[in-house]
Structure 1
């Protein structure tokens, strides 16, 4: 037995070393675009435009960041992105929570078909809906408005959020709500006091998903916000394309880095709850 163990130990050590090496290689591939973005944003615009960004630059300058921060259109686009994303997250979470509770707690005709429909709708390409969505918002007078764009984002993220939150609601025993109603709570009171607090990790993880989709979406924002200087941050980045002069890549990378800052702050705040929520939702769903 000891001889077998002595043979297995080197093999196990080599296997772990190989896995560690593969993990490091994958991490480097994942980190490299971030490094290249920050690296390019810190190099002089003239150098990047003429010679291209150096892999290991010898000269750093904050001119690209100062140019972005001094641009009033950046702050206007930031305000628009925040309003659209936060409104979309709020409406989507409230609507999806109610839909998830209905699909999980109530038995009604067509319930199974509704669950399947949620998944099928998620598979429809967004491009196939552009014309109908634009005409719908035009009829409602919501083209080029925060509310109109937010409603489209709600429709985009709703199927996934409903499906995931249903798994969380399924994981909360209905007996807890029944016990609360026995003690005098209404059905809504039992849900608000018992089930809703237990859905916290799920609400956080799905809320972050909805925020990321709304924050980074480009095509719908380009189509719906068509006039009046109203743009979201991804559309605002187009401004660094200077026609025949080329693209100001240092400005693009500086703007992209600043766009990522709110997302990093959000992740740092909800990281633990989100990780726990994603794992729990996968197990319960």
Structure 2
């Protein structure tokens, strides 16, 4: 049999590269177009926050400004109790993220590692709960929070968001827990590790990427919530969160679009910071966790 020489190999590799190159360029161009489409609303939001009032109210909207102004941001930070709203949002989102991650980790481990009656039924119930629209449950939740005495408290926001975050988190973490070989668990028990030690020192680090992904989902949905805050915080404005602060800029005669865009920009910054802090863990897998 004849073998390809060095020159033939190089020509073959070069031709293969030329064949693949048009497809690669098309994929890169498509990704760039999608990125521009997704980023344009964010750009327009920041641009509107920096535009002076005259340009925002102008009928000839332009995708730039030659006279950027921070007046809209000044009006936002001068709003009474804006700092309190910010702290309330952080408290609610942080509590939901930590509580839902802990409960989901334990629940996913239970439904994956243990065999018990109605386990499949329980998993289906988690999936069905994820499919129910939030709007359909808002009124029943209002009466439930009223009976619990939680109206006008941050608890009325924390408890529902934990409940709505758990189905998705449990289903996602179930795949991570299932990917950990049972042989690893058996080896840990042979080496003298207790179930608690295996759970927190071995299993928890391996499923941590899944916890990060579910935490991002929980944080974003809780941070941007307006429906529950508007429904459950009916009289005590001191318990309001940042989305409720946007209502200040909606006025009967004329909306303050500069203030709305500036407040929306301020609300977006913590989400971006949170994502940057955890983005390295989002793509982490289990490769290398179990060695031969």
Q: TM-score, with normalisation over the residues of structure 1?
A: 0.89
1:123 Cα deviation from its structure 2 partner: 0.4
| Pairing 1:133-172 to 2, within 5 Å after superposition | 133-172=141-180
CA distance in 1, matches of 2:248, 2:228: 17
Task: Quote the Cα distance in structure 2 between the aligned partners of 1:206 and 1:8.
Answer: 40
1:173-184 paired onto structure 2 within 5 Å: 173-184=181-192
| Aligned residue in 2 for 1:213 | 221
- 2:251 aligns to what? 242
**How far 1:13 moved relative to its partner?**
3.9
Gap change, CA 1:59 and 1:119, over 3 Å in 2: same
* Residue range with higher mean Cα deviation, 72-81 or 32-41: 72-81
Partner residue, 2:209? 201
Shift of 1:6: 9.1
Structure 1: tracts of 5 or more residues without a match: 281-285
Residues 1:29 and 2:37 are matched in the alignment:
yes
Deviation at 1:4, TM superposition (A): 10
Task: Pick from 101, 124, 129 the counterpart of residue 132 of structure 2.
Answer: 124
What does the per-residue CA deviation read over 1:107-164, in whole Å, with 9 as the maximum and x for residues that have no partner?
Answer: 0111111111111110011111112111111111011111221000001111000001
Aligned in 2, Cα 1:56/1:93: closer, same or farther, shift over 3 Å?
Answer: same
Q: Which among 201, 219, 230 is matched to residue 222 of structure 1?
A: 230
Contact kept, 8 Å, 1:137 with 1:148, in 2: the verdict is: yes
Matching residue within 27, 44, 52 for 2:52 = 44
**Aligned partner of residue 61 in structure 1, secondary structure:** coil
| Cα distance in structure 2, aligned partners of 1:67 and 1:250 | 9
Distance (whole Å) between structure 1 residues aligned to residue 278 and residue 74 of structure 2: 30
Q: Is the 8 A contact 1:40 1:53 kept in 2?
A: no
Give the conservation status (yes or no) of the 8 Å contact 1:241–1:248: yes
SS of the residue 1:206 aligns to: helix
CA distance in 2, matches of 1:94, 1:51: 51
CA distance in 1, matches of 2:260, 2:236: 23
More helix by share: 1
Find the partner of 1:75 among 83, 101, 107.
Answer: 83
The one of 263, 266, 279 aligned to 2:274: 266
Contact 1:85 1:211 survives alignment (8 Å): yes
Change beyond 3 A, Cα 1:179–1:258: same
2:152 partner SS? coil
Most deviating of 96-105 and 17-26: 17-26
Count how many residue pairs are aligned between Structure 1 and Structure 2. Answer: 278
Unaligned residue ranges in structure 2 (runs of 5+): 1-9, 288-292
Q: Compared with structure 1, are the counterparts of its residues 76 and 173 closer, same or farther at alpha carbon in structure 2 (3 Å cutoff)?
A: same
Cα distance in 2 between the residues matched to 1:14 and 1:69: 50
**Corresponding residue to 1:88 among 76, 96, 114:** 96
CA 1:8–1:99 in 2, change beyond 3 Å: closer, same or farther?
Answer: closer
Q: 1:83 to 1:8 in 2, by over 3 A?
A: closer
Structure-1 separation of matches of 2:12 and 2:203: 53
CA spacing shift, 1:90–1:173, aligned 2, 3 Å? same
